[in-house]
């Protein structure tokens, strides 16, 4: 590619040529869409975060960084922030490990592999709100499939009320997020594994490497970029996972399952504190922008 | 070729807005009324569609779109629509939300658009939304809360809360039978704490001499007694349905309809929900009892239909309300949701002369509503969290309520 660039004479660029005119025209709808539906709302939220707001989101008085300062004084904000980090870290780690193990299993040749590959996609292919509603009923203490199975099989005669206590509610909800997210990781890892040359495995085998060593020295290095991209994407989605938490627990019991994204929603649309909602949205935006920036660096490095 | 392509793209850009404008013009010819319709238990999709179709068939120049929305999501939905500058013409709201909307100048008096005939047919006692002499919401449902009980398990309506506890203990035999339904998961309404608080003679806020609300009062002796009693029932006597802390109103009441629970504090929709669930046990009604020696009250909840100031077709919205408040539709609506009618004419119909309605009318005589104040939704959430903390044993009922009261008073600048 680089050689070709050298061979081609450098064309003198003009901003407004017949060719570029058409290109700009084609770009116009996307640009208008981006400006109207992404850039404007983002700017508006940033501005709103520096204003005192009415209950119907009218910006009343410029207050500078007072909203930020007030929010940082709130203990509940820091608890939610810490939980968001914990939630994201734990969920992404488990999804990565499970995804990797399942991808390895699906990469082995056996009868029924195609069926297994199809089945694994189901949680990811289903709508997240529907999956969350389904799990709400699975966890139901009276009619739920989980407790019923535990009781009937004698595994646990008095199973806990999964969504009734802070710790069990947190782990129950995070499990749903993990359950939904595993197929994506599996598919990405599987695609990555299939792009690793079989010659490398054969060479390793000739050198006497066992399965674990082949995984460590061939598979993992081969998956390095894929692993990084998949975990970064998963981090973005997990940090932003509103549906699962809001549908299953609405942040309860006693606010023990709120993460930043659900807390923004509650402050903004329940309590009508648009300014605090905006401040938290700006903070979320900054965090996710950093992750997105790292992602793009990795992605484009891989492309070149 | 390139210029042809350029012209084609340009043509698309020109035609799309023209088509959109033409569509808009066509839409302008008939005034469209959007109505956010709360999905009360008992309401059916057929009934919603019937009103919509009948109105649209009756008026050529008007069209109604009735948008069904779950109660739990209604507050979020309407505040978002109003804040986004695109309110519907009409929306069913909890009457307690009206002050928030008034504060934001989002709603108008319904009397400006609804006919005098319709207004005069509303029972005066249902007009909780009359604020400063203006009716800011048309009453759509008003019902006191009552006690429903499964007479196959316990054939006695308790006279006091203490008796209720004894009866509940007597019949509880998990996992086959439970004494009482108690939702412990945060819901859009704080009904359960309110039942016990009002039964103990308590209130949410002190009343100032000028009629305004003062400091928090729900952490007073009555409130503490109420929450201690709830905690006792749930965590020590263990007479409430399994997993109460993970169940809100919407998914704990179905446990009652399975026939496994003796008592349930509930609203007027109980009978229609019981029928829809296909329950067969002997369902009876009584009053939510007071605590022994207390001047206990029950809770009455009113919902209203608000008309939004920035909506486009307010005249048509008024016409729709006149249409909907005819007995043919409104009485059927009341019958489906099980609430006593708010219209005088429907109140005289034979279908509303049953034991359930008699119980509801008796309950209304000793009932009181929510505090009508702005920001009550956040206050509700704070008290809910205090309840849950007490259930979880994180705090004593007194400490939990005191902390909640301090937070609410600080928030209200008191």
pLDDT value at B376 more than 90 = no
- Mean pLDDT to the nearest integer, B236-262: 91
B359 and chain A: CB distance < 8 Å anywhere? no
**Residues across chain A:** 304
- A2 pLDDT tier (thresholds 50, 70, 90): very low
> How far is B80 from chain A, CA to nearest CA, in Å?
7
pLDDT tens figures, A138-150: 999 888 999 999 9
d(CA B346, CA B352) in angstroms, rounded, equals 8
Question: Pairing relation of β-strands B138-144 and B298-308?
Answer: antiparallel
Nearest to A56 among B83, B185, B245 (CB): B83
pLDDT value at B25 more than 90 = no
pLDDT value at B12 more than 70 = no
The CA–CA distances, whole Å, from A82 to A89, A152, A166, A257, B399 equal 11, 38, 15, 11, 26
Pick the CATH number of A71-303 from 3.40.50.2300, 3.40.50.1580, 1.10.10.10, 1.10.3720.10: 1.10.3720.10
Percent of chain B at pLDDT > 90 equals: 60
Nearest to A161 among B9, B83, B246 (CB): B246
Task: Pick the closest to residue A191 from A160, A223, A215, A168 (CA basis).
Answer: A223
Set of chain A residues whose Cβ sits within 8 Å of the Cβ of B83: 56-57, 274
d(CA B60, CA B74) in angstroms, rounded, equals 30
- B337 pLDDT tier (thresholds 50, 70, 90): confident
pLDDT value at B21 more than 80 = no
Percent of chain A at pLDDT > 90 equals: 66
Q: What is the mean pLDDT of chain B?
A: 89
- B186 pLDDT tier (thresholds 50, 70, 90): confident
- Mean pLDDT to the nearest integer, B268-285: 91
pLDDT tens figures, B363-374: 888 888 888 888
In chain A, what are the domain boundaries? 71-303
Q: Searching chain A, which residue's CA lies closest to the CA of residue B245?
A: A164
- The per-residue pLDDT for A9 is 56
Task: Please give the angle made by the CA atoms of B114, B82 and A278, to the nearest 5 degrees.
Answer: 165
Task: Please give the angle made by the CA atoms of B387, B389 and B392, to the nearest 5 degrees.
Answer: 110
Q: Give kind and range of the element (H or E) at residue B67.
A: strand B62-70
pLDDT value at B180 more than 50 = yes
Of A1 and B351, the structure prediction assigns the larger pLDDT to B351
- Mean pLDDT to the nearest integer, B327-337: 92
Nearest to B243 among A18, A56, A141 (CB): A141
Percent of chain B at pLDDT > 70 equals: 93
A118 close to A124: Cβ distance less than 8 angstroms: no
> How far is A106 from chain B, CA to nearest CA, in Å?
37
Set of chain A residues whose Cβ sits within 8 Å of the Cβ of B104: 54-56, 58
- Mean pLDDT to the nearest integer, B224-229: 97
> How far is B143 from chain A, CA to nearest CA, in Å?
25
B277 and chain A: CB distance < 8 Å anywhere? no
Set of chain A residues whose Cβ sits within 8 Å of the Cβ of B390: none
- Mean pLDDT to the nearest integer, B229-252: 91
pLDDT value at B15 more than 80 = no
Which pair of tokens denotes residue B156?
């006695």
Q: Hey, are the CB atoms on A161 and B385 less than 8 Å from each other?
A: no
- The DSSP secondary-structure symbol of A110 reads -
Percent of chain A at pLDDT > 70 equals: 94
CA dihedral B279, B281, B285, B290 (to 10 degrees): -100
Nearest to B6 among A22, A252, A266 (CB): A22
- Mean pLDDT to the nearest integer, A187-207: 93
- The per-residue pLDDT for A1 is 43
Set of chain A residues whose Cβ sits within 8 Å of the Cβ of B277: none
> How far is B76 from chain A, CA to nearest CA, in Å?
5
pLDDT value at B64 more than 70 = yes
Q: What is the mean pLDDT of chain A?
A: 89
Q: Searching chain A, which residue's CA lies closest to the CA of residue B251?
A: A140
Set of chain A residues whose Cβ sits within 8 Å of the Cβ of B9: 22, 25-26
pTM: 0.80
- The per-residue pLDDT for B220 is 96
pLDDT tens figures, B90-149: 999 999 889 888 888 899 999 999 999 999 998 887 888 888 788 999 999 988 899 999
- The per-residue pLDDT for B318 is 96
d(CA B288, CA B192) in angstroms, rounded, equals 11
pLDDT tens figures, A3-27: 444 555 555 556 667 777 888 888 8
CB contact set of B219 (below 8 Å; sequence gap of 6+): B398, B401, B402, B404, B405
d(CA A116, CA A183) in angstroms, rounded, equals 11
């Amino acid at each position: 590619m680089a050689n070709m660039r050298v061979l081609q004479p450098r064309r003198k660029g003009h901003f407004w040529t017949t060719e570029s005119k058409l290109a700009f025209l084609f770009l116009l709808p996307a640009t208008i869409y981006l400006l109207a539906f992404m850039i404007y709302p983002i700017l508006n939220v940033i501005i709103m975060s520096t204003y005192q707001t009415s209950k119907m989101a009218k910006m009343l008085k410029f207050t500078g960084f007072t909203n930020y300062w007030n929010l940082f004084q709130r203990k509940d904000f820091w608890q939610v922030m810490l939980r968001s980090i914990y939630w994201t870290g734990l969920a992404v780690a488990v999804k990565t490990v499970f995804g990797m193990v399942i991808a390895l299993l699906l990469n082995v040749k056996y009868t029924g592999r195609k069926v297994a590959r199809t089945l694994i996609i189901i949680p990811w292919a289903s709508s997240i709100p529907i999956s969350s509603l389904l799990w709400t009923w699975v966890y139901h203490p009276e009619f739920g499939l989980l407790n019923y199975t535990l009781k009937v099989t004698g595994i646990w005669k008095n199973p806990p009320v999964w969504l009734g206590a802070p710790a069990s509610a947190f782990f129950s909800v995070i499990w749903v997020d993990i359950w939904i997210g595993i197929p994506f990781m599996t598919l990405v890892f599987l695609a990555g594994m299939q792009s690793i040359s079989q010659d490398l495995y054969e060479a390793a085998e000739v050198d006497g490497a066992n399965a674990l060593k082949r995984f460590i020295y061939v598979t993992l290095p081969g998956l390095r970029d894929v692993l990084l991209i998949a975990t970064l994407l998963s981090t973005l989605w997990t940090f932003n996972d509103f549906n699962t938490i809001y549908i299953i627990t609405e942040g309860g019991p006693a606010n023990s399952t709120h993460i930043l994204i659900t807390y923004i929603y509650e402050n903004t649309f329940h309590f009508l504190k648009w300014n605090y909602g905006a401040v938290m949205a700006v903070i979320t935006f900054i965090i996710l922008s950093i992750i997105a920036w790292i992602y793009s660096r990795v992605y484009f490095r891989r492309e070149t | 070729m390139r210029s042809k392509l350029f012209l084609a793209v340009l043509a698309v850009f020109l035609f799309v807005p023209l088509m959109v404008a033409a569509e808009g013009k066509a839409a302008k010819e008939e005034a469209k009324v959007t109505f956010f319709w709360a999905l009360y238990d008992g309401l059916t999709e057929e009934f919603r569609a019937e009103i919509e179709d009948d109105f649209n068939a009756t008026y050529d120049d008007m069209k109604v779109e009735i948008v069904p929305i779950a109660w739990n999501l209604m507050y979020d939905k309407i505040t978002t629509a109003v804040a986004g500058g695109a309110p519907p013409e009409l929306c069913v709201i909890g009457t307690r939300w009206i002050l928030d909307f008034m504060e934001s100048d989002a709603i108008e008096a319904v009397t400006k658009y609804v006919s005098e005939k319709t207004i005069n047919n509303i029972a005066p006692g249902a007009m909780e939304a009359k604020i400063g002499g203006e009716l800011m919401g048309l009453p759509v449902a008003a019902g006191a809360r009552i006690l429903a009980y499964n007479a196959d398990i316990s054939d006695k309506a308790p006279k006091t809360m203490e008796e209720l506890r004894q009866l509940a203990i007597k019949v509880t035999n998990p996992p086959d039978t439970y004494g009482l339904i108690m939702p412990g998961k945060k819901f859009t309404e704080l009904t359960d704490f309110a039942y016990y608080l009002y039964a103990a003679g308590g209130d949410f806020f002190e009343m100032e001499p000028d009629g305004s609300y003062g400091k928090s009062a729900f952490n007073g002796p009555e409130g503490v007694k109420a929450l201690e009693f709830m905690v006792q029932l749930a965590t020590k006597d263990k007479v409430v349905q399994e997993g109460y802390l993970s169940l809100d109103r919407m998914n704990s009441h179905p446990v009652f309809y399975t026939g496994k629970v003796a008592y349930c504090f509930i609203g007027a929709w109980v009978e229609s929900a019981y029928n829809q669930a296909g329950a067969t046990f002997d369902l009876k009604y009584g009053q939510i009892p007071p605590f022994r020696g207390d001047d206990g009250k029950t809770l009455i909840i009113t919902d209203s239909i608000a008309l939004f100031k920035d909506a486009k077709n307010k005249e048509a919205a008024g016409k729709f309300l006149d249409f909907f408040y005819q007995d043919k539709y409104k009485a059927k609506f009341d019958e489906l949701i099980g609430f006593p009618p708010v219209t005088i004419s429907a109140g005289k119909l034979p279908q509303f002369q049953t034991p359930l309605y008699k119980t509801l009318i008796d309950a209304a005589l000793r009932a009181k509503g929510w505090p009508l104040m702005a920001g009550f939704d956040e206050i509700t959430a704070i008290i809910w969290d205090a309840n849950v903390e007490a259930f979880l044993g994180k705090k004593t009922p007194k400490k939990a309520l005191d902390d909640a009261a301090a937070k609410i008073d600080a928030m209200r600048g008191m």
